Amino acid sequence: MYPFVAPGEPLEVLTTNACIGDEPADEVRIWAPLRRNASLRFAADADGLFDLDASTMRIAHPSLGASAVNVSLSDGRGLGRVEATTFGGQSRISSVVLHWLNLPVIESSIGATTEMPRGRWSTEAGPWRLTLEGRQDLNDTIRTMRYDDQQYAMTHVGELSRIDGMPFASSEAEDVIFGWQLAMSFALGRWVAPALPVGFDSGGMRVWEQWAPWRCDEMFGYQCWWNDRCGDDLGSFVARFLAAFLDDDHRAVTRYVASYTIAGNHSGTTAEGKVMLAFAGLDYLGWVDLKLAEKVSRQEYKDLGAARRLRLLLDEAGIPTATPQQLDALIQLGTAESDVDADGPGTASWVRNRLVHPKDPKSIYRGAYVWQAAQLLLEYAELLLLRRIGYTGEFQRRYPPGRSQWEHEPVPWSRPNPANTAS
């Protein structure tokens, strides 16, 4: 619906006459800078000043007519931010076009066919069909972004529709779009944005649109569990993730653990913060899957302690609990400290506990304990959520630093008789 622009260039959304509060504007330009939060900005041209308390801008939407837009003025001369606004909220929709920011190249191992040309990815999740197509110059765009240190660009156009072709409510579309965003963000370890969704009816008329500040992280500098060259694994994952997200019995757990893991993986989060965020997600999983599932009583849950609770979750999922050989500091920690269990759950839990309740605040920084515990806990959280939704494809380890993106392996529970040994 909106054109691809070069990295660093704003996306022009609309130029129109408008009225901000009670003051008319001769012309208002609305654009998306394509930056963090994928929010829209506006600039009005008028002779006088606008009331900074004005919260509504009335425009003539090119397809939906007279419409009210929620705004926040930052300058009396007419500069401001567009807040979340939906047009045509009661419409029935047959398809939604999305403008995705900061997705990588996604290739299907099936290969190009007439129905699925190179550069197009698709999967089905319940009644929904989800499709992505990269811009034709995607490889050059990503190369330019790296060379010019540009961190944001529209990389793909997407489409959401029902498999049976039946129309659906805009509220359903919003829910599935957020679930799709959460799935893609969890796969990439950073927030990506399905910006400017536009809904069409069965006749191809634009009947719904949403302007909202979608969360989006920088393109580069993140680790992720998904081998981002394998579109088939992504399709399998997204289908299972969305099924869990749209299921009332599993939605909260799926959203909570995914959000905490994405936040813990953020490039701006300190190693200490990564430990806390990953541990919070794992503690939540332990409460839900052990206590609420009535596998243990409340007192038994308390008596187990953090390390044994985590160990139970990993054992049940077939995930090795031995400390990986690459995490040498944690292995040394397991032999040097008398009050720590020497496996992964034991050493990582010890680090978290010493960050929260230190006996000697300096002891935790005498080795690479915090960074290695953060990587191990984030991987545990990723794998446990993947196991919970039934994913059986491949994943990438989080260590050692600088490991090749081509190094990937089957998830532990998909291997024949997975052994609980160091990997």
DSSP letters spanning 239-270? HHHHHHHTSTTTHHHHHHHHHHHHHHT-TTS-
Structure tokens at 246: 């749209």
**Continuous segment of H or E residues that includes residue 235:** helix 231-245
Residue 225 lies in a domain: no
| 207 in a structural domain | yes
Query: What secondary structure letter does DSSP report for 18?
Result: E
Q: Say if residues 126 and 140 touch (Cβ distance below 8 Å).
A: no
Please name the amino acid found at residue 1.
M
* Gap between the Cα atoms of 1 and 3, Å rounded: 7
Strands (E), 116-227: 120-125, 128-134, 154-162, 168-169, 193-200, 206-211
Strand order in the sheet with 128-134: 85-87, 206-211, 193-200, 95-101, 154-162, 128-134, 120-125
Which two structure tokens, joined as six digits, stand for 25? 């504007």
Based on the domain organization, do 385 and 266 belong to the same domain? yes
Provide the 3-class DSSP secondary structure of residue 66: strand
Whether residue 353 is contained in a domain is answered as: yes
Q: By the 8 A CB rule, do 261 and 186 touch?
A: yes
**Residue 118: predicted pLDDT:** 55
330 CB contacts (<8 Å, ≥6 apart)?
323, 344, 347, 348, 351, 369, 372, 373, 376
Q: Are residues 307 and 169 located together in one domain of the fold?
A: no
- Confidence (pLDDT) at 204: 93
Last residue of one domain, picked from the residues 36, 64, 85: 85
Answer whether residue 236 is part of any domain.
Answer: no
* Residue 3 covered by a domain: no
Q: Which of 33, 51, 85 is the last residue of a domain?
A: 85
- Decide which of 67, 85, 103 is a domain's last residue: 85
Q: Are 369 and 360 in contact (CB under 8 A)?
A: no
- The reply to whether 266 and 133 lie within a common domain is no
The candidate with the shortest Cα–Cα distance to 203, out of 406, 63, 376, 401, is: 63
Is residue 40 a part of any domain in this protein? yes
Residue 237 lies in a domain: no
Q: How many domains does the chain have?
A: 3
Q: Is the CB of residue 420 less than 8 Å from the CB of residue 313?
A: no
Give the pLDDT of residue 114: 43
The b/e string for 147-156 (b: 16+ C-beta within 10 A; e otherwise) is eeebbbbbbb
| Residue 107 CB contacts under 8 Å (≥ 6 apart), including other chains | 118, 119, 121, 229, 230, 231
Those residues whose C-beta lies under 8 Å from the C-beta of residue 72, and which sit 6 or more positions away, are 55, 80, 81, 83
| Residue 30 belongs to domain spanning | 11-85
Q: Are residues 69 and 168 in the same domain?
A: no
**Measured at the alpha carbon of residue 214, what is the angle toward residues 212 and 216, in degrees to the nearest 5?**
155
Query: Cβ distance 214 to 38 under 8 Å?
Result: yes
284 and 401 together in one domain: yes
One domain, residues 324 and 383:
yes
Are both 145 and 52 inside the same structural domain?
no
Same domain membership, residue 135 and residue 78: no
Nearest-angstrom CA–CA distance, 319 and 302: 23
Please tell me the distance from the alpha carbon of residue 397 to that of residue 100, in angstroms, as a whole number: 26
Q: Do residues 174 and 212 lie in contact, with contact meaning Cβ atoms separated by under 8 Å?
A: no
Answer positive or negative: Cα dihedral of 234, 218, 272, 283. negative
Name which of 78, 76, 57, 80 is nearest 68 in CA terms.
57
pLDDT along the chain (423 residues), means of 10: 92 92 90 87 87 91 91 91 90 94 80 53 94 94 93 95 96 96 97 96 94 93 85 93 96 96 94 96 95 92 92 96 94 84 93 90 88 96 97 90 69 71 43
Alpha-carbon gap, residue 239 to 131, rounded angstroms: 12
Q: Quick one: 206 and 275 in the same domain?
A: no
**Same domain, residue pair 321 and 201:** no
pTM of the model: 0.92
Q: Are residues 403 and 343 in the same domain?
A: yes
Residues 147 and 278 in one domain: no
Task: Tell me if 242 is assigned to some domain.
Answer: no
